[in-house]
Amino acid sequence: MTVKIPSLEEKSAIARLKQGDLDGLEALVKRHQVRAVSAAYLIVRDPKLAEDIVQEAFLRAAEKIDQFDESRPFGPWFLRSVINASTKVVRKQKRFIPLDGTRDEETTKVADWLIDPDPHPEQIVETQETRQMVWEALGELTAGQRAVIVMRHFLEMSEAEMTEELDRPLTTVRWRLKAARNQLRRLLHFFWKSEYQEAQDER
Amino acid sequence: MKDNHKPTGNKNPTIQSMLDHLAKETILPEKIDLWPAIRANLAASKPLSQPKELSMNKRFVFTTLAAVLVLSIVAVFVAKNVTTVSAKEILDRAYQVQTQAAAQGIEHIRTEIYGNLEAQPEEQGLYTTTDNYLDLQSDKFRRISTDNQTGGLIDVAAYDGSNAYSSDGTKGAPQSAAPLTIYRTPQNPPTTSVETLGNGNSGLDTKALFDKMRSDPQVQLAGKETWKDGRKVYVLRSEQPIRVLIANEAQSPNGIVEVYFDVDTYELVGNRVTIQKDGKELLIGSQRTLVDETLPEGSSVAWDLSDLQGVNIVDDPNGEHALPEVTSVEALAARIPSAYLLQTVPDGFSLEVSVLPKQFANRSGNGPFFYEAGYVNQTGDYFDIRAFDDTPLEDTSWADEIYTTASGLVLYFVNQPSIDPNFTGGLMQAPNGHTYAIDSTLPRETVRELMEQLVLVK
């Protein structure tokens, strides 16, 4: 999500859609569908469901397009609705607990790291295994936490934009990140040295 | 979206890259084309006025329900010769129900669970009941698991808005008469909420089983059952690989999975998983939802666990109960024989060994394996080795040098000049199949020499 200023093409598409021309919507769909489905997938973890959510979001966007200020970029507005819808779906879905009643704490550690990673990221080597670990860790996060990760790292939203989307005061978001960092210091020392040493220093 | 609103938190290009990869592994841009479906949807709904649309929808729902019902009844009579269509319709309905999210209120779900992942003889597994509350607005939650046989608490986790509660590290002794210790840590975000628990690695949670069923063309509608509490359920059955631990070895035999759906609401209300062992059907696990309700917003729930009897709530302001503990080499050897240490501590260096107080289940089921050994000298140079994984590396394409010691240890060096030109690190593959992370401020040449000194702890 690197485009903040609406392109002429996008402006034109929105204007056409406002006039009832479905070609305008088609242009918006083609432009944003992959990013939107990818973001939804990272939250709901089901590609078909992600597509359904994005389809619904486009339909809702079409219904509400009259309320949309076309001087603003469509992408962030639309993607936020996708994130919201995805979060709601996960909240409803993830209600059953595993039979063994246990959780993989390694995954939990990575989940904590995802919430607020250290500024020395390169020390975690990106391999198929660590990616798998990240995938599992994402699954361990709450819907809201997953949304934060996707917004921040995948959609590259700023903290202010995330706050707007999460409908939470900025202080709350910052508090969550700070608290997550504290937990990280306790749990993640095996993944890299500096955090562990900080934790040790604090003891 | 990078311009005016500069993020104040940490961004992480590694995570970004991983998320990109993860998304691209499944979401293939060339296969995403939502427009035909959206256009069809718009075309179908546009000409209809709202009342007509509602009427059509109702008719459709009625027809679908009737069809499902008829097919279900037929299924009972024709036993296994059911069509997959009826099963698919039930799955589709259930899927729709799941996507209708409640936005507010307090979700309360009580589930009875039988777990026997070690495939022990019948009834030797553990029956537990888990009571979950989740405030959908504030993320407050509480989860209480009790042993059905003894009534004792097994596991507790909660978040009251300002404190996180966890019995982590104290659970696992349901027969013990000692009170369960619960650690209370201020301002910890909830990392274990009821809504996150459907993604455990057991592969046996109802949602995961349901997802597999949805993609299984052979899923069958086995019929309808009436439970003791009067609930009527559809029973869908499919064959799926089931991950179990037999004689400490992870195996995935094919098993029979049954998932139950409420006949009236199509909600998932349970599952039952069996495998064949020694010629007999063996119950591996089951779940039944006993209560599934949404309480009004603001309903009274003891998020702070103040209603629990027989527990010992301990303040742990810094979360120290989960900090790694410094231990001796002897203790390490007794606890984690797969640990590698240098044969002798290098001159000028001191050694500190630490382990996590609570070692968690690992993938191979071979017991605890996480430890860290840090060798540090007066000038701050260090050589660290720590357990990374208990399975071999699958992908080593990132390595820019591979070094094999005389004893067969293989170190895959990683080139990371961007963070610290003096940093030397990589992942080490040992003959025991475990992987270890090594990082050091020492040059590669010295690290190679130290690698030759690594031996299993004794």
Per-residue pLDDT tens over the stretch B146-182: 888 888 888 888 888 888 887 754 444 444 567 888 8
* Residues of A with Cβ-Cβ distance to B103 under 8 angstroms: 88
On whether both A142 and A70 belong to a single domain, the answer is no
| Higher-confidence position of A128 and B288 | B288
Domain identity same for A12 and A82: yes
Pick among A97, A129, A168, A184 to test the B interface (most B CBs inside 10 A): A97
pLDDT at position A58 is: 92
Is A102's pLDDT higher than 70?
no
Q: What gap in Å lies between CA A113 and CA A119, rounded to an integer?
A: 11
Residue B233 has pLDDT above 50, yes or no: yes
The answer on A41 and A89 residing in a single domain is yes
Q: Would you call A37 and B34 a contact, using CB atoms and an 8 Å cutoff? A: yes
Residues of chain B in contact with residue A96, where contact means CB-CB under 8 angstroms, are 111, 197-198, 205-207, 268, 287, 289
The answer to whether the Cβ–Cβ distance between A160 and B5 falls below 8 Å is: yes
Do A196 and A111 sit in the same domain of this protein? yes
For residue range B181-196, list pLDDT tens digits in order: 888 887 644 443 333 3
Say if residues A140 and A130 touch (Cβ distance below 8 Å): no
Q: Are residues A163 and A129 in the same domain?
A: yes
B98 contacts A92? CB cut-off 8 A: yes
Question: Does residue A69 sit in the same domain as residue A130?
Answer: no
Question: pLDDT tens-digit profile of B237-292?
Answer: 888 877 666 655 556 788 888 889 888 888 888 888 888 888 888 888 888 889 88
The per-residue pLDDT of chain A, averaged, comes to 67
pLDDT at B56 over 90: no
Q: Is residue A37 part of a domain?
A: yes
3-class DSSP state of B188? coil
Which residues, 6+ apart, have CB-to-CB distance to B278 below 8 Å?
A: none
Q: Cβ-count burial of A71 within 10 angstroms (0-12 exposed, 13-18 middle, 19+ buried)?
A: exposed
Classify residue A158 as left (phi > 0), alpha (psi -120 to 50) or beta: beta
- Per the CB < 8 A criterion, the answer to whether B162 and B154 are in contact is no
Question: Which one, of B162, B101, B97, B186, lies nearest residue B136 by Cα?
Answer: B101
- For B429, the 3-state DSSP assignment is strand
The average pLDDT across A104-112 equals 59
Cβ of B20 within 8 Å of Cβ of A34? The answer is no
Here the CATH number for the domain that contains residue A126 is 1.10.10
The answer to whether residue B458 scores a pLDDT higher than 90 is no
What is the predicted pLDDT for the residue at B206?
62
Which residue among A101, A156, A196 places its CB closest to the CB of B2?
A156
Nearest CA in chain B to A53: B99
Residues A83, A136 within the same domain: no
**Domain with A119 in it:** 105-202
Please check whether residues A88 and A110 belong to one and the same domain: no
Backbone angles phi, psi at B375, to 5 degrees: -105, 120
Residues A76 and A125 in one domain: no
> Do A111 and A80 share a domain, yes or no?
no
Q: Which of A164-178, B382-396, B429-443 has the lowest mean pLDDT?
A: A164-178
Residue contacts between A and B (CB atoms, under 8 Å)? 322
Average pLDDT estimate for A122-129: 60
Give the pLDDT band of residue B408 (cuts 50, 70, 90). very high
Q: Which of A89-98, B55-64, B342-351 has the lowest mean pLDDT?
A: B55-64
Q: Determine the residue type at B118.
A: E
Q: Give the tens place of pLDDT for each residue, A30-75.
A: 989 999 999 999 988 888 889 999 998 998 888 888 777 777 778 8
Spatial separation of the C-alpha atoms in residues B159 and B165, rounded to whole Å: 6
- Which architecture characterizes domain B106-315 according to CATH? Clam (2.50)
C-alpha–C-alpha distance, residues B143 and A191, integer Å: 29
Judged against a pLDDT cut of 90, whether residue B128 lies above it is answered with: no
